[in-house]
């Protein structure tokens, strides 16, 4: 038996071509990417359940359990449709992450032509100053900083402004009698793109019951994109940052400014960069070392 297996293995390796090698590498990368995508999400439990069904199917087939084998075989016949329906949120997020690589490449190219960082720094400073004032007056606010995931569909739910960020403008938007104060404001590349926008609410049932709609919308927005969302509580005046479905609370003005600069200008170190961005950063590091 062992000799037969080894003989087959040797025969397979002899016919193994460069195309087969590429095929194996691509499949391995896809599997690796899917495992990383599902690892920290609710879909991880669904994957485990799917694997258990595969084991049960194998056992039922070996023991010739006709009825159970027939039922599981019927399920696996339509596994592709089931997979798309069940993992739709994760597949959408994965496709968005793939698209971010191209956007990063465009950002790298555009940064060689112009330097938009000054405008972004000013926007972050104005937001930090405004949130500090809002915190003292207990004025509720919801401000979204767009990063790699385009938020055009969210921006279209509000009023397009496309104006410079300023404390006066933000103060007028989030004044409690203003028509746009209940929605979110979106900042793109240092400019106030839209105000009064509707954000998706989180479906996470494990978050604190003390959090209101504003905080749930901030968490929901960061679950579906890589945006950074700043929230000022209307009840307590506390300033929070939502990122990757998590909420960090009780920021003061300077801490808020430094964290936003780290996430938006410097880049989130915890975030996995795209392929083009990673290659660019490595070349940049080597160039700096040589200099």
- Over the stretch 198-220, which tens digit does the pLDDT of each residue have? 999 988 878 888 888 999 999 99
Tell me, what's the pLDDT at 215?
A: 93
Share of the chain above pLDDT 90, in %: 38
Tell me, what's the pLDDT at 224?
A: 85
Separation between Cα atoms, residue 124 and residue 107, nearest integer Å: 19
Tokens of 54: 């595969």
Share of the chain above pLDDT 70, in %: 68
pLDDT tens digits for range 272-286: 444 334 444 444 444
pLDDT tens digits for range 63-101: 888 888 888 877 777 776 766 776 666 666 666 656 555
Question: From edge to edge, which strands make up the β-sheet containing 239-243?
Answer: 159-164, 191-197, 184-188, 141-145, 228-232, 239-243, 246-248
Q: Which of 46-55, 81-90, 141-150 has the lowest mean pLDDT?
A: 81-90
* pLDDT, mean of residues 106-116: 47
Q: What is the CA radius of gyration of the chain?
A: 25
Tell me, what's the pLDDT at 273?
A: 42
Tell me, what's the pLDDT at 268?
A: 45
Q: Which residue has the higher pLDDT, 47 or 124?
A: 124
What's the whole-number average pLDDT of the chain? 78
Residue 108 has pLDDT above 60, yes or no: no
Distance of CA 209 to the CA centre of its chain: 24
Question: Residue by residue, what is the 3-state secondary structure of the chain?
Answer: CHHHHHHHHHHHHHCCCHHHHHHHHHHHHHHHHHHHHHHCCCHHHHHHHHHHHHHHHHHHHHCCCHHHHHHHHHHHHCHHHHHHHHCHHHHHHHHHHHHHHHHHHHHHHHHHHCCCHHHHHHHHHHHHHHHHHHHHHCCCEEEEECCCCCCHHHHCCCEEEEEECCHHHHHHHCCCCCCCCCCEEEEECCEEEEEEECCCCCCCCCCCCCCCHHHHHHHHHHHHCCCEEEEECCCCCCEEEEECCEEECCCCHHHHHHHHHHHHHHHCCCCCCCHHHHHHHHHHHHHHHHC
Q: Which residues contact 188 (CB under 8 A, 6 or more apart)?
A: 146, 151, 155
Q: Please report the domains of the chain, with CATH numbers, ordered by start residue.
A: 2-92 (no CATH), 114-275 (3.40.1700.10)
Residue 6 has pLDDT above 60, yes or no: yes
Residue 135 has pLDDT above 70, yes or no: yes
Tell me, what's the pLDDT at 241?
A: 96
Furthest C-alpha separation in the chain: 82
Tell me, what's the pLDDT at 115?
A: 52
Q: Which residue has the higher pLDDT, 239 or 98?
A: 239
pLDDT tens digits for range 160-173: 999 999 999 999 99
Q: Which residue has the higher pLDDT, 242 or 204?
A: 242
Tokens of 144: 């979204």
* pLDDT, mean of residues 108-120: 57
Buried/exposed 225-253: b ≥16 CB within 10 Å, e otherwise: bbbbbbbbbbeeeebbbbbebebeeebeb
Separation between Cα atoms, residue 234 and residue 200, nearest integer Å: 19
Tokens of 227: 């945006």
Confidence band for 142, pLDDT divided at 50, 70 and 90: very high
């Amino acid at each position: 038996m062992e000799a037969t297996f080894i003989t087959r293995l040797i025969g397979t390796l002899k016919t193994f071509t460069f195309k087969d090698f590429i095929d194996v590498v691509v499949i391995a990368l896809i599997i690796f990417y899917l495992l990383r995508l599902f690892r920290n999400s609710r879909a991880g439990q669904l994957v485990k359940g799917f694997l258990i069904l595969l084991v049960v199917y194998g056992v039922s087939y070996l023991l010739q359990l006709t009825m159970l084998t027939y039922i599981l075989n019927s399920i696996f016949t339509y596994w592709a449709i089931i997979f798309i329906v069940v993992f739709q949120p994760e597949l959408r997020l994965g496709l968005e992450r793939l698209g971010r690589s191209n956007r990063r490449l465009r950002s790298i190219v555009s940064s060689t032509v112009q330097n938009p960082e000054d405008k972004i720094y000013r926007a972050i400073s104005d937001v930090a100053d405004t949130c500090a004032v809002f915190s003292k007056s207990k004025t509720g606010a919801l401000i979204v900083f767009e990063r790699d995931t385009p938020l055009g569909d969210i921006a279209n739910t509000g009023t397009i402004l496309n104006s410079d960020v300023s404390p006066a403008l933000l103060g007028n938007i989030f004044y409690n009698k203003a028509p746009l104060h209940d929605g979110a404001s979106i900042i793109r590349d240092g400019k106030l793109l839209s105000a009064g926008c509707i954000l998706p609410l989180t479906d996470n049932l494990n978050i604190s019951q003390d959090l209101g709609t504003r905080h749930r919308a901030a968490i929901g927005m960061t679950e579906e994109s890589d945006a950074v969302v700043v929230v000022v509580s209307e009840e307590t005046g506390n300033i929070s940052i939502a990122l990757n479905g998590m909420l960090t609370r009780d920021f003061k003005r300077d801490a808020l400014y430094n964290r936003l600069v780290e996430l938006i200008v410097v880049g989130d170190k915890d975030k996995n960069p795209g392929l083009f961005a990673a290659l660019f950063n490595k070349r940049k590091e080597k160039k700096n070392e040589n200099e």
